Amino acid sequence: MLHRLLAGAAFALGLGLVRAQASEDDIQTLYERRLPFVVASSLATPELAEQYMSTLRQDGTWPDVNYATGCDAQRANWPAGAHWTRILVLAAVYHGGVNGTEQDVGNSTIRDAVSRSMEYWFANDFGTVANGACLDRGGVNGEACPCGTPGLWNTNWYSNVILVPTLVGRTCLLLRDELTPTELGNCTAITARAYAPFYRNPQPGFVSGANIIDMSSIGISAGLLENNRTGNASRIMDAYQRVHNETVVHDKELVDGIKPDGSFQQHIGIVYDGNYGKDFSNALLELELQAANTPFQANASVRDAFSSHIEGAQWMTFADTKNKTLHWDYTVIGRMVAFAIADDQASANIKMNLSSVQALGDAWNSTRLQRFATDLSKPIKTANAGYLTGNRMFWNSDYMVHRTNKTITTIRMLSNRTKTSECVNTQNPFGFHLSDGAMYQYSTGQEYLDMYATFDWNLVPGTTVDYNATVLNCSTTEKLGVNTYAGGVSAGDVGIAAMQYTNPNTRAFSFKKAWFFFKDNVQHVQVNGISSTASAPVYSVLDQRLHKGPIYLDGEQVTSGNYCDVDSLWHAGTGYVFPESQGTEIRLEAGEKTGNWSKIGTGTQGNVTKDMFSASIIHDQANLGTPMEYSIFPATKSNDEFEDKAETCTPQTVVNDGTASAALDYDARTLGAAFWNVGGGSVRVDKMGLTVYADRPLVLVLKLTGENNRSGSVSIADPTHGSGPARVRLVWSSTGSSTSHPECKRMLGHAGARRRSGHRCNRQTPDETVLEFDLPKGGLAGSGLTQEFKRTAY
């Protein structure tokens, strides 16, 4: 039934203009289209219905539901909400549309069970107790709903405003035509009450982003029930207008919703595509398919904004190649990393109906929605769900994604435009470091599966950290960043990200770090300028993930321990190379660890034991400012394959100091550079035979093309989100290499080329290319620009 509705709605939405005002027929159409979605959302099965019917007590309660209320109740995932989840299952079976329960449609025994369970809740609803303060101010000192106030309510506004009213509205719609007057009155009261915060002045802080869509959907349910079931066109239209007003691109910093770069933020500065963004999308998909060819449907600007969000979200997915499931990058599910897969939260899978995405894409003729649905429906062969490749910088969210045919790598950075993470309702109390340059590497999609209960939260993959110098608890998790410098630029299949970091809790630890993504799935990382006033050990974390198979260090199998003068490391498909002259010291940990999900949130899975692996560079405490570097080779099947690949042409450090960090892929004639200072700087690249000058803080990718490097392109962005003019000068010397096919061999232990502070003057007049850029502003500040060039002299 739902599949037929999606196809019909897609056809209707494509018909074009609709009437300006809603009629009774429009309201009835909306109601009829909504019902199959409600039935589908119930997740009802014959087995669940039988279980709930057999255990329902005479007073309308279930013995295994925790009805603790008020200040005694669990704040997140309120257990008492399961009461309405069960009612909805029974109502769906009674209404019809649940496979295998056709014989139970209209069953009076089931209807009686629904009535008893609804009556219990309605009799104990907090109603108008405390003048409505229990809705979102329960248990707050000085408010009218203190602890001990009677009624079923939760100190978490979400339970009272969204969780329960959503379930109430759906249940009541399934029973709309036969609700008793008392039932109808309670149904409309609870749903209308949840919509009421829209009318407050000022509105509560939770009226933002995905919450607006959820509350509006409840308002539509209320509107379909009101006026004695005939519908309230004004409320429905108002709710849809609020949905459309929120489905826009929010270009201001620290504002929830869809951002100009296609990411989705919630809770002021946290990228959240895989949790709140996913909920936003699911609600909008349903609402717009239901509104097909009625006055309630979205206009062109709403469609474009939502399509941009979906296009961005596709970059943030990965596939578990063993279990054949789609997931969101752990970076974009925020505090929901605190849940195991079995808890069926955002960590479980992408939790989106691809058929709905396809239907709306067809209806809107949106290639971006269609691509999301068709690509993610393809057979899973690698971690790269949908086979999307390239590099993409989400400049509003300090987030970069690099996708190859086999792998996905993500980086989450921090600036004064974004937040570290959050701890809400005891979930994610140790997540402070989750944006300190967190770097996840997906080759199989199982690298980090269900590991967070046994996770060392001081060793977030990819970060540089003063270990244990920040107290990790719920009160320290959420902080706005300090520095302006965090961003990156993409140039097709390559990219660079860079960040200046200061610990926002202690202000006692700082560093500069750059990540380079080159062709052939080779990466390079540089860190410099580490400063710490604490005595804590400082590590640059290579990875922390599930342990799988042998660990090779300098070609030999090893176990846990500290190792000096390391040249190479390989584990479970990912290899690392360190310059011989660096004298790299590595800390390895591998083995079983036991943890409890309840220690990091409200998960139900309890104790768990995982075989964990972590590898980190140990920085010399007496010389923290010494630059460090390493190269990464993902998706190498064995240590031998890794070593063979590492012997060939791979990234070389050009410079890594307080002025600039730059690396060269000589074979591909590609340079990545981060200029750290306000006035920019210069980088001399002898092997390219040129010097690159920038006049402001920039990240830059230079690609040389053509015979003798006579042409190329420069891609830049300002990680500080500055605007105005930017100038890049390329000055060629007569002494540098300019061959179009250089011979290159890079042995393990390569020391890297170094920028000279001074050099012999070139007696010949060098040729020069000057590129003038006008940097974007507003919500586009920090985004990339590209110019192509041809040398005028050579």
| Residue-level pLDDT at 21 | 84
Q: What is the DSSP string of 527-588?
A: EEEEEESS-S-EEEEEEEEE--S-EEETTEEE-SEEEEEE-EEEETTEEEE--GGG-EEEEE
| Residue-level pLDDT at 11 | 35
| Residue-level pLDDT at 785 | 99
User: Is 545 a domain residue?
Assistant: yes
| Residue-level pLDDT at 736 | 45
Tokens of 27: 């309201």
Share of the chain above pLDDT 90, in %: 90
**SS3 at position 787:** strand
- Do 557 and 570 contact (CB within 8 A), yes or no? no
Q: Do residue 373 and residue 477 come from a single domain?
A: no
Q: Which whole-number Å values give the CA distances from 767 to 289, 454, 687, 710, 714, in the listed order? A: 60, 58, 16, 11, 17
User: Is 99 a domain residue?
Assistant: no
Residue partners of 179: CB distance under 8 A and separation at least 6:
172, 187, 229
* Burial of 198 (C-beta count, 10 Å sphere; 0-12/13-18/19+): middle
Residue partners of 498: CB distance under 8 A and separation at least 6:
485, 486, 487, 488, 512, 513, 514, 515, 661, 674, 676, 699, 719
Q: Do residue 264 and residue 373 come from a single domain?
A: yes
Whether the model clears a pTM of 0.85, i.e. scores above it, the answer is yes
Residue partners of 256: CB distance under 8 A and separation at least 6:
208, 209, 210, 250, 265, 266, 267, 268
| Residue-level pLDDT at 650 | 76
Q: Do residue 556 and residue 610 come from a single domain?
A: yes
Q: Do residue 263 and residue 407 come from a single domain?
A: no
Number of domains the chain contains: 2
Domain that holds residue 287: 1-25+249-319+341-380
User: Is 146 a domain residue?
Assistant: no
Q: Do residue 596 and residue 656 come from a single domain?
A: yes
| Residue-level pLDDT at 707 | 87
Q: Do residue 441 and residue 589 come from a single domain?
A: yes
User: Is 235 a domain residue?
Assistant: no
Among 380, 411, 430, the domain-final residue is 380
| Residue-level pLDDT at 766 | 63
Q: Do residue 572 and residue 523 come from a single domain?
A: yes
Q: How far apart are CA 467 and CA 481, in angstroms?
A: 19
User: Is 574 a domain residue?
Assistant: yes
Q: Do residue 509 and residue 552 come from a single domain?
A: yes
Q: Which whole-number Å values give the CA distances from 225 to 233, 293, 524, 688, in the listed order? A: 11, 21, 59, 71
| Residue-level pLDDT at 7 | 44
Among 380, 410, 433, the domain-final residue is 380
- Do 44 and 92 contact (CB within 8 A), yes or no? yes
Tokens of 409: 């790598």
Long-range pairs, 130-136, Cβ under 8 A, ≥24: 132/193, 132/196, 134/160, 135/160, 135/161, 135/193, 135/194, 135/196, 135/197, 136/160, 136/161, 136/197, 136/204, 136/206
User: Is 93 a domain residue?
Assistant: no
H-only helix segments in 588-662: 639-646
| Residue-level pLDDT at 552 | 99
**SS3 at position 774:** strand
pLDDT beneath 50: ranges in the chain: 1-19, 736-764
Q: Any idea what the CATH number is for the domain that residue 522 is in?
A: 2.70.98.10
Q: Do residue 758 and residue 647 come from a single domain?
A: yes
Q: Do residue 740 and residue 640 come from a single domain?
A: yes
Tokens of 744: 């290159």
User: Is 772 a domain residue?
Assistant: yes
User: Is 165 a domain residue?
Assistant: no
| Residue-level pLDDT at 708 | 85
| Residue-level pLDDT at 792 | 76
Q: Do residue 375 and residue 460 come from a single domain?
A: no
Q: How far apart are CA 387 and CA 357, in angstroms?
A: 18
Q: Which whole-number Å values give the CA distances from 507 to 270, 381, 469, 483, 510, in the listed order? A: 21, 45, 11, 11, 8
Q: Do residue 676 and residue 558 come from a single domain?
A: yes
SS3 for 403-436 is: ECCCCEEEEECCCCCCECCCCECCECCCHHHHHC
- Do 737 and 689 contact (CB within 8 A), yes or no? yes
